[in-house]
Chain A
Amino acid sequence: MLRYTVRRCGHLLVVVAALSVLLFAWLRSLPGGPVSALLGDRATTQSRAQLTAALGLDQPIPVQYLRFLGRAATGDFGVSTGVAPGASALSILLQRLPATVELAVLAILLAVAVGIPLGYLAARRRGGWLDGTAVIASLVGVAVPVFFLAFLLKFVFAVHLGWLPTSGRQSAGIDATRVTGFFVLDGLLTREWDAAGDAVAHLVLPALALSTIPGAVIFRITRAAVLDVLDEDYVRTAHAKGLTAAVIRRRHVLRNALLPVVTTIGLQTGALLSGAVLTERVFAYQGVGQALALGFERRDYAVLQVLIIAAAMCYVLVNLVVDLSYALIDPRLSA
Chain B
Amino acid sequence: MALMTRSRMTRPARPRPRATRFAALLFAGALAVSLAACAKSQRGEDEGAADAGGSGGTLTFGAAGAPHLFDPFYASDGETFRVSRQIFEGLVGFAPGSSTLQPELATRWSSSADGRTWTFTLRPGVKFQDGTDFNADAVCANFTRWFTQTGVGQNPALSYYWIENFGGFADHAKPSLFDSCATAGASTAIVTLTRATGKFPSLLALPSFSMQSPAAMARYEANNVAAQGESFSYPPYAQEHPTGTGPFVFAGYDQASGTITLRRFDGYWGAKAKLDRLIFRIIPDEKARLQALQAGDIDGYDLPNPGDWPILRGGGFNLLVRDPFDVMYVGITQKNNPALRDLRVRQALAYAIDRATLVSAALPEGSQVAREFYPDTVDGWARDVQQYSYDPQRARDLLRQAGASNLTVNFSWPTEVSRPYLPNPQRIFGAIKEDLELAGVTVNPVSKPWNGGYLDDVDNARADLFLLGWTGDYNSPDNFIGTFFGTLQNRFWLEAAPWGAALVDELHAADAEPDKQTRTRMYQQINRELMGEYLPAVPISHSPSAIVVNKRVKGLVQSPLTAEKFAPVSLSG
- Do A167 and B288 touch across chains, with their CB atoms under 8 A apart? yes
- Do B288 and A284 touch across chains, with their CB atoms under 8 A apart? yes
Residue from the list A42, A67, A84 in contact with B255, Cβ < 8 A: A84
Residue from the list B8, B36, B67, B416 in contact with A334, Cβ < 8 A: B8
Q: Which residues of A contact B452 (CB under 8 A)?
A: 30-32, 36, 299
Task: Jot down 28 A-B pairs with beta carbons below 8 A, ordered by A.
Answer: A3-B3, A31-B449, A31-B456, A32-B456, A33-B451, A37-B451, A44-B459, A47-B163, A79-B233, A81-B231, A84-B255, A86-B68, A86-B238, A95-B255, A162-B296, A166-B292, A166-B297, A167-B297, A171-B297, A172-B281, A175-B50, A177-B42, A178-B254, A178-B256, A284-B283, A284-B292, A297-B451, A335-B8
- Do B456 and A36 touch across chains, with their CB atoms under 8 A apart? yes
A positions within 8 Å CB-CB of B: 1-4, 30-48, 50-51, 54-57, 67-68, 71, 76-81, 83-88, 92, 95-96, 98-99, 154-155, 158-159, 162, 165-173, 175-181, 183, 186, 189-192, 281-284, 286, 290, 294, 297-299, 301-302, 327, 331, 334-335
B109 within 8 A of A: no
Q: Which residues of A contact B456 (CB under 8 A)?
A: 31-33, 35-36, 48
- Do A42 and B284 touch across chains, with their CB atoms under 8 A apart? no
* Residues A335 and B5 in contact in the complex (CB < 8 Å), given A41-B455, A44-B490, A167-B297: yes
B positions within 8 Å CB-CB of A: 1-5, 7-8, 13, 32, 35-36, 38-43, 46-47, 50, 58, 60, 66-69, 76-77, 152, 155-157, 160, 163-164, 227-234, 238-239, 254-259, 279, 281-285, 288, 291-292, 294-298, 416, 419, 448-456, 459-461, 468-470, 483, 487, 489-491
Complex alpha-carbon distance, A101 and B285, angstroms: 22
Distance of B268 from chain A, by nearest CB (Å) = 23
Distance of A51 from chain B, by nearest CB (Å) = 5
Q: Which residues of B contact A34 (CB under 8 A)?
A: 230-231
- Do A45 and B461 touch across chains, with their CB atoms under 8 A apart? yes
Q: Which residues of B contact A80 (CB under 8 A)?
A: 231
Question: For the complex, would chain B's binding face be called helix, strand, loop or mixed by DSSP majority?
Answer: mixed
Complex alpha-carbon distance, A47 and B69, angstroms: 20
Complex alpha-carbon distance, A38 and B227, angstroms: 13
Which partner residue on chain B sits nearest A28 by CB separation?
A: B230
- Do B230 and A85 touch across chains, with their CB atoms under 8 A apart? no
Complex alpha-carbon distance, A7 and B509, angstroms: 73
Complex alpha-carbon distance, A301 and B229, angstroms: 10
Complex alpha-carbon distance, A240 and B279, angstroms: 70
- Do A83 and B66 touch across chains, with their CB atoms under 8 A apart? yes
Distance of A292 from chain B, by nearest CB (Å) = 12
Q: Which residues of B contact A44 (CB under 8 A)?
A: 156, 459, 487, 490
Which partner residue on chain A sits nearest B473 by CB separation?
A: A42
- Do A173 and B8 touch across chains, with their CB atoms under 8 A apart? no
Distance of A10 from chain B, by nearest CB (Å) = 15
Which partner residue on chain B sits nearest A169 by CB separation?
A: B257
- Do A95 and B230 touch across chains, with their CB atoms under 8 A apart? no
- Do A168 and B297 touch across chains, with their CB atoms under 8 A apart? yes
- Do B3 and A2 touch across chains, with their CB atoms under 8 A apart? yes
Q: Which residues of A contact B4 (CB under 8 A)?
A: 1, 4, 327, 334
Q: Which residues of A contact B283 (CB under 8 A)?
A: 167-168, 284
Kindly list the 8 A-B residue pairs having the minimum CB-CB distance in the complex, ordered from nearest: A31-B453, A1-B4, A78-B229, A47-B156, A179-B39, A32-B452, A79-B231, A85-B68
Q: Which residues of A contact B47 (CB under 8 A)?
A: 175
- Do B1 and A3 touch across chains, with their CB atoms under 8 A apart? yes
Complex alpha-carbon distance, A88 and B231, angstroms: 10
* Residues A78 and B231 in contact in the complex (CB < 8 Å), given A166-B291, A167-B288, A172-B60: yes
Complex alpha-carbon distance, A162 and B66, angstroms: 27
- Do B231 and A85 touch across chains, with their CB atoms under 8 A apart? yes
- Do B257 and A286 touch across chains, with their CB atoms under 8 A apart? yes
- Do A166 and B229 touch across chains, with their CB atoms under 8 A apart? no
* Residues A282 and B288 in contact in the complex (CB < 8 Å), given A95-B255, A175-B50, A179-B35: yes
Q: Which residues of A contact B295 (CB under 8 A)?
A: 158-159, 162, 165-166
Complex alpha-carbon distance, A81 and B229, angstroms: 10
Task: Given contact pairs A172-B259, A189-B39, A191-B36, enumerate 9 new A-B contacts (beta carbons under 8 Å).
Answer: A36-B450, A165-B295, A166-B292, A168-B283, A172-B58, A186-B39, A284-B283, A297-B449, A302-B230
Complex alpha-carbon distance, A36 and B449, angstroms: 11
Distance of A56 from chain B, by nearest CB (Å) = 7
Distance of A309 from chain B, by nearest CB (Å) = 15
Complex alpha-carbon distance, A162 and B293, angstroms: 11
Residue from the list A50, A57, A168 in contact with B230, Cβ < 8 A: A57
Most A-side CB within 10 Å, residue of B231, B233, B295: B231
Q: Which residues of B contact A175 (CB under 8 A)?
A: 43, 46-47, 50
Residue from the list A36, A191, A284, A302 in contact with B285, Cβ < 8 A: A284
Complex alpha-carbon distance, A35 and B38, angstroms: 43
Complex alpha-carbon distance, A294 and B276, angstroms: 32
Which partner residue on chain A sits nearest B156 by CB separation?
A: A47
Distance of A80 from chain B, by nearest CB (Å) = 7
- Do A282 and B285 touch across chains, with their CB atoms under 8 A apart? yes
* Residues A166 and B288 in contact in the complex (CB < 8 Å), given A3-B3, A36-B451, A42-B76: yes
Q: Which residues of A contact B231 (CB under 8 A)?
A: 34, 38, 55, 78-81, 85-86, 302
* Residues A86 and B232 in contact in the complex (CB < 8 Å), given A1-B3, A1-B7, A166-B297: yes
Which partner residue on chain A sits nearest B2 by CB separation?
A: A3
- Do A290 and B284 touch across chains, with their CB atoms under 8 A apart? yes
Q: Which residues of A contact B32 (CB under 8 A)?
A: 189
Which partner residue on chain A sits nearest B277 by CB separation?
A: A173
* Residues A71 and B284 in contact in the complex (CB < 8 Å), given A1-B1, A192-B43: no
- Do A284 and B41 touch across chains, with their CB atoms under 8 A apart? no
Complex alpha-carbon distance, A181 and B163, angstroms: 40
Most B-side CB within 10 Å, residue of A55, A92, A281: A55
- Do B453 and A32 touch across chains, with their CB atoms under 8 A apart? yes
- Do B36 and A41 touch across chains, with their CB atoms under 8 A apart? no
Complex alpha-carbon distance, A281 and B469, angstroms: 28
Distance of A3 from chain B, by nearest CB (Å) = 7
- Do B152 and A54 touch across chains, with their CB atoms under 8 A apart? yes
Q: Which residues of A contact B483 (CB under 8 A)?
A: 42
- Do B460 and A99 touch across chains, with their CB atoms under 8 A apart? no
Q: Which residues of B contact A169 (CB under 8 A)?
A: 256-258
Complex alpha-carbon distance, A170 and B2, angstroms: 49
Most A-side CB within 10 Å, residue of B227, B229, B285: B229
Most A-side CB within 10 Å, residue of B281, B283, B455: B455
- Do B1 and A172 touch across chains, with their CB atoms under 8 A apart? no
Complex alpha-carbon distance, A57 and B227, angstroms: 12
Residue from the list A1, A36, A39, A54 in contact with B227, Cβ < 8 A: A54
Distance of B41 from chain A, by nearest CB (Å) = 4
Which partner residue on chain A sits nearest B449 by CB separation?
A: A32
Which partner residue on chain A sits nearest B229 by CB separation?
A: A78
Q: Which residues of A contact B281 (CB under 8 A)?
A: 168, 172
Q: Which residues of A contact B164 (CB under 8 A)?
A: 42
Q: Which residues of B contact A172 (CB under 8 A)?
A: 58, 60, 259, 279, 281, 297-298
Distance of B537 from chain A, by nearest CB (Å) = 14
Residue from the list B8, B13, B230 in contact with A78, Cβ < 8 A: B230
Q: Which residues of B contact A38 (CB under 8 A)?
A: 157, 231
